[in-house]
Amino acid sequence: SAARVGGGGRRAVKPASVKAMRGVRAAAQGIETEVRIDQAPMTLLREGADEAGDDSNMRARFERMIRAAQDEICNAISELDGKPFHEDAWTRPGGGGGISRVLQDGNVFEKAGVNVSVVYGQMPPEAYRAATGEAGESKEMIPFFAAGISSVMHPHNPMAPTVHFNYRYFETDAPKGAAGAPRAWWFGGGTDLTPSYIF
């Protein structure tokens, strides 16, 4: 989608960005399929690699933050609505996973969902260059990590807007053989209210 720029205008999607998104879709097809689990694990991070208990590790800190936010939001909405959320959890064999919570046919909300996910994958170099503006001709896939929280809530009342938000942390691994810090990282997301009744 186009990105907002100062003054409320819109920036057109560049052809390179379209090409990069095709690469991202192709890479997404290679991501391992989910395995449903009965109960969400303490962490969705890869075992050992991301030091889930280490406060200096941004991956671990962000996962803890989005899971705490999911708990707070679901508890508040459930208290307001009077109905509980139903939870489903999934993992991937190579690490990562997600927790989906849905409240349906409630007293206030027709449907409300609050989801968190932690994903590991391989990004095509064109997608990386489009996202970061970095030059280069490398053809190697770039390992990435992404974690986020998203929600959509549809109230019964047509005078109340639908709310949608998503917030994420995205990180690409350092090139093979390089030690330490991520190659690149950024936060993204946004919130919007969509009216269903036009005055």
- The domain limits of the chain are 6-194
36-80 confidence digits (pLDDT tens): 999 999 999 987 766 556 667 899 999 999 999 999 999 999 999
Say yes or no to pLDDT of 26 above 60: no
Type and span of the H or E element at 184: strand 184-194
pTM greater than 0.85 (yes/no): no
CB 143 within 8 A of CB 172: yes
Residues 6+ apart with CB under 8 A from 44: 63, 91, 95, 96, 97, 98, 99, 116, 117, 118, 147
Higher-confidence position of 95 and 192: 192
Active site residue 156: no
Q: What is the mean pLDDT of the chain?
A: 82
153-172 confidence digits (pLDDT tens): 999 999 999 999 999 999 98
Average pLDDT for 84-97: 93
| Nearest Cα residue to 118 out of 38, 174, 47 | 47
Residues 6+ apart with CB under 8 A from 46: 94, 95, 96, 120
Tokens encoding 131: 């996202």
Burial status of residue 119 (CB atoms within 10 A of its CB: 0-12, 13-18, 19 or more): buried
Candidates 86, 154, 156, 164; catalytic one: 164
Q: What are the strands of the beta sheet with 184-194, ordered from one edge?
A: 35-37, 86-91, 97-104, 109-123, 142-155, 162-172, 184-194
Say yes or no to pLDDT of 150 above 90: yes
Q: Residue type for 173, please?
A: D
Give the pLDDT of residue 29.
46
The β-bridge relationship of strands 86-91 and 97-104 is antiparallel
